[in-house]
Chains A and B, each alone.
Chain A
């Protein structure tokens, strides 16, 4: 396999694995805390 192609595939895999896992972790942490904040004096 040519050196250029090997590095290209390697970088793609790194982006796909590390990048996607990192972004998913960020999205998960943002969405898990999206519960409504209790407000003081809200109508019952």
Chain B
């Protein structure tokens, strides 16, 4: 048994170091070619789904052997492992979203909760599944909790607040506007599924993609929100209402002129969204120009250039 543990240690330590090095290398490479961060299905927290798989097998083996104690202990342990892994993964994704945004509320402590559930699962598995002494099972649980904390960290606790030029805290207003816009985009996507016309569907998909890009720009720099108010309140809401209306009506009424009108409206919306995006980009360029000019003036004044 001692030799087996030593062998496991000798294999596990270089393997863990190798995994970390590879992960780091892939992240550096990915950052160079990244275009839309946060939109890929992330592999975060997958390890916690894979490591407890032997407990599932143990539960099946216990069932095959007719061992009720083993079955209950292993099944409870695996269930808790799964719940903990899901919470942890959700927490990691929420944290990534929090990190990406400039304005955000402090997320629910899902990572901490997930780590605690995993620690409980480890203790239960060690006690009921592996038949360890309760004190040793507690030590297993504590080691798992410490491992989760060191590896994944605790959840962010501070909200990222945003104040406008007058010094007024507008965090809630910004977040509400963004949530509403996200709901409108989701409603357009939902209505698109009920429209059975390939051309209109592809137009709507383009519109949704453009709207998401604009929303990402607004999330990254909420100062643009004032400039994009018309886009959020009039165009996006209008696009949602028109799409929902068409999706409901076109299945019941055959009217070619309705389709033509809808097509025309979609073309206009597409143009307006593109214009809005361009306007936001131009504002960014203007802001940067101003900053460069200010810096140049300062450097000249101090005799550096």
Indicate if B62 sits at the interface (CB-CB under 8 A). Answer: yes
Chain B interface bracket (under 10, 10 to 19, 20 to 34, 35 or more): 35 or more
Size class of the contact patch on chain A: 20 to 34
Do B54 and A11 have beta carbons less than 8 Å apart? no
B43-69: which have CB < 8 Å to A?
Answer: 47-48, 51-55, 57-59, 61-62, 64-67
Contact (Cβ within 8 A) B65 A10: no
Q: Is the interface of A mostly helix, strand, loop or mixed?
A: helix
B151 touches A18 (CB 8 A): no
B130 lies within 8 A of A32 (CB): no
Kindly identify, within residues 107 to 160 of chain B, every residue whose CB is under 8 Å from any CB belonging to chain A.
118, 122, 125-126, 129-132, 140-141, 143-144, 146-152
Scan B55-85; emit 1 where CB is below 8 A from any A CB, else 0: 1011101101111001001100100010000
**Residues of A with C-beta under 8 A to B147:** 10-18
Residues of B within 8 A of A15 (CB): 12, 16, 51, 147
Binds A, one of B17-25, B172-180, B257-265: B17-25
Q: Once the chains are docked, how many angstroms separate the CA of A21 from the CA of B139?
A: 11
Chain B contact residues: over half helix, strand or loop, or mixed? helix
Cβ contact within 8 Å between B70 and A29: yes
B8 touches A (CB below 8 Å): yes
Contact A17 B140 (CB under 8 A): yes
A27–B168 alpha-carbon span in the complex (Å): 62
On A, residues with C-beta under 8 Å from B are 4, 6-30, 32-33
A-B contact pairs, 19 of them (CB 8 A): A6-B150, A6-B151, A8-B17, A9-B150, A10-B149, A11-B147, A11-B151, A12-B16, A12-B147, A17-B143, A21-B125, A22-B53, A22-B55, A23-B54, A25-B54, A29-B65, A30-B58, A32-B70, A33-B61
Ranked nearest first, the 9 interchain pairs of A and B with the lowest CB-CB distance are: A33-B65, A10-B151, A10-B150, A13-B147, A25-B129, A24-B130, A14-B147, A17-B143, A17-B144
